[in-house]
């Protein structure tokens, strides 16, 4: 079992209850020092708390909604975000379109366009939107199917995607925080997105304003690792604290 697999299993155990460092070391047949290294990033991100040798999962870190609950939320906003996103896609480019309802809407808009591009995805929703589009060369990433994502994740996905380069990647998020980064509530999916984003020249995060100032379980990208955030324009939400010289926030 490698470190990534061990981290996933550790979090599964912690969801069931607290464990000591010694118990985790014995469980995975590694040293306490190795377990501490595994947990360091989680501790830095407030995902876990270690107190007197016992590890606790931070229950305040966000949970995850199902696709059924997400798909009917902020539909008009998702359409505007998607329409803006495809303006950044040029003929001849190789782009990655992520799992998630906003990313699926990007695929819907791209299918209606005349742009001739290569699309790679791990999302069944994206494949459903694009498989009949004659202007699109479509590739599907392999991996382990995850129902809440309606897509594929895991080590096979990560190993496969490392062989590819993307001009642009359009990524989803459940949380955006300037210090914590771009996050998701599921570790294995977060590790998968992390690998995908690293293969892209330009990274776009596409999400509505409700995800700002939220932290969820795993930060798959530092805030300054992304290039654009495309989001809806909400007059009741001040985004000035999220803007800097590195990241372009596009409001629609």
| Phi, psi values for residue 139, rounded to 5° | -125, 140
| Residue ranges of the chain whose pLDDT lies below 50 | none
pLDDT digits (tens, 9 = 90+) for 162-211: 999 999 999 999 999 988 999 998 888 999 999 999 999 999 999 998 88
Q: How many CB atoms lie within 10 A of CB 142?
A: 12
- E strands along the chain, which residues? 19-20, 48-51, 54-57, 94-97, 117-121, 136-140, 144-146, 151-153, 166-171, 175-177, 181-184, 200-206, 218-221, 228-231, 248-251
Architecture of domain 67-251: 3-Layer(aba) Sandwich (3.40)
pTM assigned to the model: 0.76
Tokens of 234: 């909400």
d(CA 157, CA 138): 16
Helix (H), strand (E), coil (C) string for 12-37 = HHHHHCCEEHHHHHHHHCCCHHHHHH
| Topology classification of domain 3-57 | Arc Repressor Mutant, subunit A (1.10.10)
Q: How would you classify the pairing of strands 166-171 and 218-221? A: unpaired
In the chain, the N- to C-terminal Cα span, in Å, equals 45
Domains of the chain by residue range: 3-57, 67-251
């Amino acid at each position: 079992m490698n470190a990534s697999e061990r981290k996933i299993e550790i979090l599964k155990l912690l969801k069931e209850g607290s464990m000591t460092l010694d118990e985790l070391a014995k469980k995975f047949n590694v040293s306490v020092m190795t377990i501490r290294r595994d947990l360091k990033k989680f501790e830095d991100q407030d995902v876990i708390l270690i107190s007197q040798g016992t590890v606790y999962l931070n229950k305040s870190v966000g949970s995850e909604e199902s696709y059924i609950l997400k798909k009917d939320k902020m539909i008009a906003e998702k359409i505007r975000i998607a329409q803006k996103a495809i303006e950044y896609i040029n003929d001849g480019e190789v782009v990655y379109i992520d799992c998630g309802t906003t990313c699926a809407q990007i695929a819907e808009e791209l299918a209606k366009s005349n742009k001739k591009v290569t699309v790679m995805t791990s999302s069944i929703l994206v494949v459903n939107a694009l498989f009949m589009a004659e202007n699109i060369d479509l590739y599907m990433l392999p991996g382990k199917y995850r129902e809440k994502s309606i897509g594929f994740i895991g080590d096979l996905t990560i190993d496969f995607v490392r062989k590819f380069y993307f001009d642009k990647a359009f990524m989803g998020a459940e949380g955006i925080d300037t210090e914590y980064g771009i996050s998701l509530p599921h570790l294995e999916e977060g590790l998968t997105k992390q690998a995908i984003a690293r293969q892209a020249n330009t990274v776009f995060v596409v999400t509505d304003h409700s995800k700002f100032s939220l932290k969820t379980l795993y930060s798959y990208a530092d805030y300054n690792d992304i290039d654009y955030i495309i989001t809806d324009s909400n007059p009741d939400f001040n985004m000035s604290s999220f803007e800097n010289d590195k990241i372009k926030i596009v409001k629609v």
